[in-house]
Amino acid sequence: MAGGDGTDGDNQAMTPKARESVVFLAVALGMAVLVALLSGVDDALVSRTYFLAQDRPGALYAIAALIAVALIAPRTPGWPQAMPRPRRVRAMAAAIVALLWAGTWLVMANYPVSRDEHMALFDAHVLAAGHLAQPLAPSWQPFAKALVPDFLMDVPGHRALISSYLPVNAALRALFGAVADPALLNPLLTAAGLLALWRVALRLFPTCPGAVWVCLGGYLLSAQILVTGMTGYAMTAHLTLNLVWLALFLRGGRWETVAALAIGWLAMGLHQIVFHPLFAAPFILSLLAERRWRTFAIYTAGYGLAGLFWASYPGLVLREAGVLPAGGVGAPQGLIARVLAILATPQPYALPLMAYNLLRFAVWTPLFVLPLAALAWPTVRGNRGVALPLMAGVVLTLGAIAVLMPYQGHGWGYRYLHPVLGNLILLAGTGYQRWSQNAPRRAAATTAWLALATAGLLPFLGWQAHVFVRPYAAMSQWIGRQRADFVVLDTEYPPQITDQVRNLPDLSNRPLVFSSYELSGPALVELCRRGTVLPVPRGTFRAMGLLPADTPDNALFPSRMAPLAGQGCVVPAR
């Protein structure tokens, strides 16, 4: 172990055959290839906006840092070689709560920029009012899709409004919001994830303090973890619950098993049922190799029941809305039907999307994590400890999302890998432990230099996140200042403009905001009969910075708004 006898088995200069050097150069080369390929792609995906503004500059910086440490082979400064004291780790957790809470307001404007985040707040309002779905008045049912264009559960007749997501993330926000600022929830969850990761690292690396510090540093220096912790994404809860689950699973007692099953039930219902089982399955299957038949049977039965419950949850919602599930909707077979429908849908942009996603993930992950995780491969291949289940969770998750949903839209890093970020960080600790046994000084110094380089990249990524969110938050505030009863946004294209169509589930907000794409001529006339209308064309989005200055006007929007001509209900913008 590093520091075990005070000697350094690294007494020769790094040669081209040095495995560690090859690994660091390979990671740099992989990132360089992705940058080169994506620089030649010309598409209108929001992923390209991220790539040009954030990922390409960040990737070039990361490539330079990785090549530098591979060629220079630094031997100073050192990496901490004493176990972190509990009080210090708790202080880190407290600091992360304060930092992310402030960042939620100062960096991210406490604004849910994506539809995913907004629908968590939407559902939280519904649950806080004591409903599983918000009843929708008959007079507004024909306007349901115009009021909530995306991610809405398919309730026959639009008799009620609720998202198509599972409810635990929204329920957490509703419960927490009843006693404190909801913006504190994800910072607290992020801190809890740090503490859980620390406990797991102590168990896995009891004689290698440097590996424990790699895990703490990999978490604290992750731009993806930090920025996502300033948002309302369910992914923060996914990561934290997975790490808490792993800490309980590794302890292995009776009550720990019961608690792990409860955590697993919550994690499956956060928002998408698929993520947690992909993380947990390799660990549960490892019980077979250990001949722990009874424990395996308990976990299998528990997860089977949890899966049946959450697959049936939409049916509970429909019944509360007074609609009987039909044709598999809301039943377990409905989940299978949705998966088959996704598999049957062509994904023409799957390859460039996954290239964007992987490069984005590499840029937003601490620079030492991926190379050190790669150095853990001999431990993974030998199935020693929990390295194989950790890696299997990453591979399963990556494979599933590449097939089912390669497009992540908005996100900081690659959020679909967020639930297994802890896996990669723990694998990085494993790789550091292996390296430090043979070359403690080089392992410590290289990790320290890459940690410093990562710290230099964090302000840039945080600022770019702020720059991206700022015009969306400003647009939302502008809409809220309008005196019209109804605002109709030009949502023909691009899709991120549709995310600005936001309303409270009880429709108590004014103005109500509508998607032009979902409004027919007669529907517009009906809105005009009910109140004043403000059409918002694409030029307003350009002026607010949501669209590039060279984005052309939408020729269809004036024709869509033509039924309002001469009605006397159109009002100007303030």
DSSP of 176-227: HHTTS-GGGHHHHHHHHHHHHHHHHHHHH-TT-HHHHHHHHHHHHT-HHHHH
Query: Residues with Cβ < 8 Å from 107, sequence gap 6 or more?
Result: 227, 230, 462, 465, 466, 469
Same domain, 152 and 259: no
Identify whether 495 is part of a domain. yes
Identify whether 122 is part of a domain. no
Identify whether 134 is part of a domain. no
Give me the pLDDT at residue 411, please: 83
Average pLDDT over residues 148-172: 95
Same domain, 280 and 366: yes
> Taking the CB of residue 294, how many other CB atoms lie within 10 A of it?
9
Identify whether 569 is part of a domain. yes
pLDDT tens figures, 380-421: 999 999 999 999 999 999 999 988 888 888 889 999 999 999
User: What domain count does the chain have?
Assistant: 2
Average pLDDT over residues 457-484: 95
Give me the pLDDT at residue 340, please: 63
Query: Residues with Cβ < 8 Å from 418, sequence gap 6 or more?
Result: 224, 225, 228, 233, 235, 236, 238, 239
Report residue 8's pLDDT band, with 50, 70 and 90 as the boundaries: very low
- For 369, list phi and psi in degrees, rounded to 5: -70, -50
Same domain, 254 and 362: yes
Average pLDDT over residues 270-287: 97
* Distance of alpha carbon 537 from alpha carbon 490, whole angstroms: 5
> Taking the CB of residue 249, how many other CB atoms lie within 10 A of it?
24
* Distance of alpha carbon 527 from alpha carbon 538, whole angstroms: 21
- Percent pLDDT > 70 in the chain is 91
Identify whether 24 is part of a domain. yes
User: Is the confidence at residue 328, as pLDDT, over 90?
Assistant: no
Identify whether 266 is part of a domain. yes
Report residue 9's pLDDT band, with 50, 70 and 90 as the boundaries: very low
Same domain, 267 and 356: yes
pLDDT tens figures, 239-273: 999 999 999 999 999 999 999 999 999 999 999 99
Domain boundary among 416, 434, 468: 468
Same domain, 255 and 377: yes
Same domain, 439 and 489: no
Same domain, 446 and 335: yes
Identify whether 572 is part of a domain. yes
Identify whether 133 is part of a domain. no
Strand order across the beta sheet in which 486-489 lies? 512-515, 486-489, 533-536
Same domain, 362 and 496: no
Domain coverage including residue 544: 139-166+482-574
Domain boundary among 446, 468, 490: 468
